[in-house]
Chain A
């Protein structure tokens, strides 16, 4: 296989194999695979309406994927995206309520900044614990997920609850006029643009700046980086902060563009799916975009699968699971190639 094509061919063959397996699965469940695929295509990418649906769902996924992808360049496995989304959304709602009387632009900027700082401090803390106390970042970020969700539940059920939200305890509303708008006359909210721009900026930062080079150096060999005078601690803190800020912003988008309030809907699995998207994109900020769109599309197609084929709503979860397992397994092919040819990826 030509080495230059490997980053495209390997994930594509993993996707192809996934669709064969998934086809066999739905066939055993009594559906016709070709019809099911047609429905997925129509529900995800077939019409302008479904594209809008897909891109809306991809928005938070891009940002939570960055939360894992950025620290991964340093060799850290951070899985705290879920907690950062929750705490970012909660703090964004608080900022939105505090800025109810402000100009909408001021309120939105305030909410975005607050959410990024909250998420950034959370994952930054994970990074700090790692370098100052040698605490495993994977486990500490997993624990922070639970702690953040408990804090959210405590606050929206207790002190911050809007008494008018009966069935789903939530904070007060941030104000209809302060909601995040849509792109043009589509129904895609601005959050998609936020995600896209974040991936682009971080790609430029990693690929084309000395900072990105320093990050790769620390990731390659932290000791060597320290000996050559790089501020390893600062870099680690900054990178984990940026990852957390991205996921925090995803929380703000969910509040400001979708729910209008902070509530348990923030804890919808975007963080965990983001981890896998980051791995599937091999932690490359630009590759995250198509991966997030693909999985956003599978989420969007779920309704159509239920309606047209009488398949349970978990069908899309099965498809996601199969794709993730195979794409992760395909990582081994790169390793085999590297062993054969000395190719570094």
Chain B
């Protein structure tokens, strides 16, 4: 291979590695959003959960010395934000989109405020599993450093799909999401189910935030998140409300996000912003293709009826 080929091979490897590294936060927020939307409510505020989770996870890991305790704290913070979202949205006439954006601003503000003392200290990070210690290619080795949280998320996706399909609780969430009337006829507590689904979804988004601060890019700063939480809603549409497709979509978005820096490292500096837009444009095209009245989209019924 000549030097040019090696360079492009490295770009390819970096994109593959980036797919798991950049994609893990996408994976957690999209699974969380998927769970919430299946119950018939949109939480646009997961960006707030993500940033609060990143801050809380980093802070707790620094204070206790245990990054896994940090991950748990991040999830708990997301759970609380999810609770507030659900509590407000079950009031009459309160708009879930607007509440989501308000909680995004509040969560971001609180995280920046409380996180000020966390910019300097260095907290213990989550460890990675090295899958390529046999190789002497440094690019390949760094690409195959897999974090356990990614594995957890990747296992969670099929587990959630199974949960929706085969369990009583999964059926309850789907029913509440499909039709208020059907849910009432089954004697389900609509607000209660949505509350639990939003809280659990918020928990997952918080864990996604912990990945940002405790693994990649690592550390706490105000520029840590680049809007991954806000994109959860688009990811779920892209994945057509299927948890397993959420996994593929997150890897795709992650790979697309890693393409820019990878190209930059071989000297391509402009143009990659357009690649960054590609997943969003693709989501839009997919939406246009499936939203028309002829093709049935898999959107939960109560969301489609808006």
Say yes or no: A322 contacts B106, CB within 8 Å.
Answer: yes
- Tell me, in angstroms, the Cα distance from A313 to B222 when the chains sit together: 11
- Chain A residues whose C-beta falls within 8 Å of the C-beta of B291 in the assembled complex: 133-136
- Tell me, in angstroms, the Cα distance from A159 to B237 when the chains sit together: 33
- Tell me, in angstroms, the Cα distance from A79 to B44 when the chains sit together: 11
Is residue A157 within 8 Å, beta carbon to beta carbon, of the partner chain? Answer: yes
What's the least CB distance linking B25 to chain A, in Å?
16
- Tell me, in angstroms, the Cα distance from A275 to B99 when the chains sit together: 11
- Chain B residues whose C-beta falls within 8 Å of the C-beta of A204 in the assembled complex: none
- Tell me, in angstroms, the Cα distance from A23 to B95 when the chains sit together: 27
Given known contacts A79-B101, A136-B306, A158-B270, is B95 in contact with A147 (CB within 8 Å)?
Answer: no
Interface class of chain A by DSSP? helix
Say yes or no: A154 contacts B109, CB within 8 Å.
Answer: no
How many chain B residues have a CB neighbour from A under 8 Å? 50
Contact mask for chain A residues 59-80; partner B; CB cutoff 8 A; 1 contact, 0 none:
0000000000000000001010
Say yes or no: A29 contacts B105, CB within 8 Å.
Answer: no
Say yes or no: B277 contacts A315, CB within 8 Å.
Answer: no
- Chain B residues whose C-beta falls within 8 Å of the C-beta of A320 in the assembled complex: 105-106, 109
Is residue B8 within 8 Å, beta carbon to beta carbon, of the partner chain? Answer: no
Is residue B129 within 8 Å, beta carbon to beta carbon, of the partner chain? Answer: no
Within 8 A of A (CB), among B2-30: none
- Chain B residues whose C-beta falls within 8 Å of the C-beta of A321 in the assembled complex: 102-103, 105-110
How many chain A residues have a CB neighbour from B under 8 Å? 50
- Chain B residues whose C-beta falls within 8 Å of the C-beta of A129 in the assembled complex: 288
Say yes or no: B277 contacts A146, CB within 8 Å.
Answer: yes
Is residue A12 within 8 Å, beta carbon to beta carbon, of the partner chain? Answer: no
Q: Which of A139, A272, A276, A320 has the most CB of B within 10 A?
A: A139
Q: Which of A144, A150, A275, A336 has the most CB of B within 10 A?
A: A150
Say yes or no: A317 contacts B280, CB within 8 Å.
Answer: no
Name B291's closest neighbour in chain A (CB-CB): A135
Is residue A329 within 8 Å, beta carbon to beta carbon, of the partner chain? Answer: yes
Contact mask for chain B residues 280-297; partner A; CB cutoff 8 A; 1 contact, 0 none:
110110011001110000
What's the least CB distance linking B296 to chain A, in Å?
12
Say yes or no: B92 contacts A134, CB within 8 Å.
Answer: no
- Chain A residues whose C-beta falls within 8 Å of the C-beta of B101 in the assembled complex: 79, 272, 275-276, 324
What's the least CB distance linking B90 to chain A, in Å?
9
Is residue B88 within 8 Å, beta carbon to beta carbon, of the partner chain? Answer: yes
Contact mask for chain B residues 229-265; partner A; CB cutoff 8 A; 1 contact, 0 none:
0110110010000000000000000000000000000
Say yes or no: B92 contacts A336, CB within 8 Å.
Answer: yes
Name A169's closest neighbour in chain B (CB-CB): B270
Given known contacts A146-B277, A153-B273, A276-B101, is B88 in contact with A329 (CB within 8 Å)?
Answer: yes
Is residue A325 within 8 Å, beta carbon to beta carbon, of the partner chain? Answer: yes
Contact of B270 among A154, A272, A276 (CB under 8 A): A154
- Chain A residues whose C-beta falls within 8 Å of the C-beta of B98 in the assembled complex: 77, 275-276, 279, 324, 328
Contact mask for chain B residues 87-120; partner A; CB cutoff 8 A; 1 contact, 0 none:
0100111110111011111111111110010000
Name A68's closest neighbour in chain B (CB-CB): B98
- Chain A residues whose C-beta falls within 8 Å of the C-beta of B231 in the assembled complex: 146
Contact of B94 among A133, A276, A332 (CB under 8 A): A332
What's the least CB distance linking A292 to chain B, in Å?
15
Total A-B pairs, Cβ < 8 A: 156
- Chain A residues whose C-beta falls within 8 Å of the C-beta of B281 in the assembled complex: 143, 147
- Tell me, in angstroms, the Cα distance from A77 to B233 when the chains sit together: 15
Given known contacts A134-B291, A139-B237, is B95 in contact with A328 (CB within 8 Å)?
Answer: yes
What's the least CB distance linking A287 to chain B, in Å?
15
Given known contacts A157-B269, A272-B105, A276-B102, is B287 in contact with A135 (CB within 8 Å)?
Answer: yes
Given known contacts A134-B293, A150-B276, A154-B271, is B105 in contact with A329 (CB within 8 Å)?
Answer: no
- Tell me, in angstroms, the Cα distance from A272 to B227 when the chains sit together: 13
Say yes or no: B283 contacts A157, CB within 8 Å.
Answer: no
- Tell me, in angstroms, the Cα distance from A336 to B94 when the chains sit together: 11
Contact mask for chain B residues 32-67; partner A; CB cutoff 8 A; 1 contact, 0 none:
000000000010100000000000000000000000
Is residue A334 within 8 Å, beta carbon to beta carbon, of the partner chain? Answer: yes
Is residue B139 within 8 Å, beta carbon to beta carbon, of the partner chain? Answer: no
- Chain A residues whose C-beta falls within 8 Å of the C-beta of B271 in the assembled complex: 154, 158
Given known contacts A79-B97, A147-B280, is B287 in contact with A324 (CB within 8 Å)?
Answer: no
- Chain B residues whose C-beta falls within 8 Å of the C-beta of A158 in the assembled complex: 270-271, 273
Is residue B274 within 8 Å, beta carbon to beta carbon, of the partner chain? Answer: yes
Given known contacts A133-B288, A157-B269, is B95 in contact with A331 (CB within 8 Å)?
Answer: yes
Contact mask for chain A residues 131-162; partner B; CB cutoff 8 A; 1 contact, 0 none:
00111101110111011001101100111000
Say yes or no: A143 contacts B283, CB within 8 Å.
Answer: yes
Name B277's closest neighbour in chain A (CB-CB): A150
- Chain A residues whose C-beta falls within 8 Å of the C-beta of B292 in the assembled complex: 133-134
Contact of A143 among B84, B97, B99, B234 (CB under 8 A): B234
- Chain A residues whose C-beta falls within 8 Å of the C-beta of B105 in the assembled complex: 272-273, 276, 317, 320-321, 324
Starting from the known contacts A77-B97, A136-B287, A150-B276, 4 additional A-B residue pairs (CB-CB under 8 Å) come to A77-B98, A138-B42, A142-B233, A276-B98
Some 26 contacts from A to B, beta carbons below 8 A apart, are: A77-B97, A134-B292, A139-B234, A142-B44, A142-B230, A142-B234, A143-B281, A144-B284, A146-B231, A150-B276, A150-B277, A154-B274, A157-B269, A272-B105, A275-B98, A275-B101, A312-B116, A317-B105, A318-B109, A321-B102, A321-B103, A325-B103, A329-B88, A331-B93, A331-B94, A335-B92
